Amino acid sequence: MAQVSPRVQRVADQIQRELATLIQLEIKDPRVGMVSITGVDVSKDFAYAKVFITVLNTLSDDAEVNQSTLSAPGELDKMEIEENLKALTKAAGFLRTMLAKRLQLRSVPKLAFQYDGSIEKGHHLSALIDDALAADRKQQSDD
């Protein structure tokens, strides 16, 4: 993995902070729900920025739907992620313009949004570890 220069890292961090604020306050698209920006990778020439997002489950008015969708990720979650990505991709030009007003850069990178599944993978690995520890404790108690 290539070493990232301190300036590229500072710009990426600043873009992450500003985008989080802009998405929360300026985006009026109803498809954009609870979006969290987990990271930004900026190219060395500052032409492109990959913005990694996670989508938190949004609650509906129906408690049964909330319980079923919050407990196990399924098709609803995938559809919600796709809709958020489509909306953010459509708003990328607007967000880039707003970033240009807030950042002191000669040129603002083009934004490309991607889903970050690392949190989901982390939950899965944590559940596997918990299951292994529980099985180990059960085996120890049986002996």
Domains and CATH numbers, the chain: 6-117 (3.30.300.20)
53: confidence class by pLDDT, cuts 50, 70, 90: very high
Query: Per residue in 38-51, is it b (16+ CB within 10 Å) or e — as a string?
Result: eebbbeeebeebbb
Can you tell me which residue has the tokens 């085996």?
Answer: 139
Q: Given this model, what pLDDT does residue 68 score? A: 52
Contact between 42 and 12 under an 8 Å Cβ cutoff? The reply is yes
What is the CA angle 126-72-21, rounded to 5?
80
More confident site: 40 or 31: 40
37: confidence class by pLDDT, cuts 50, 70, 90: very high
More confident site: 138 or 57: 138
More confident site: 68 or 91: 91
57: confidence class by pLDDT, cuts 50, 70, 90: low
pLDDT tens readout for residues 79-123? 888 999 999 999 999 999 999 999 888 889 999 999 988 877 888
SS3 content of the chain, % helix, strand, coil (to 5): 55, 15, 25
Phi, psi dihedral angles at 13 (to 5 degrees)? -65, -40
Statement: residue 71 has pLDDT above 60:
no
pTM of the model: 0.75
Q: Given this model, what pLDDT does residue 61 score? A: 52
More confident site: 44 or 69: 44
CA-nearest of 131, 115, 27 to 73 is: 115
pLDDT tens readout for residues 4-28? 789 999 999 999 999 999 999 999 8
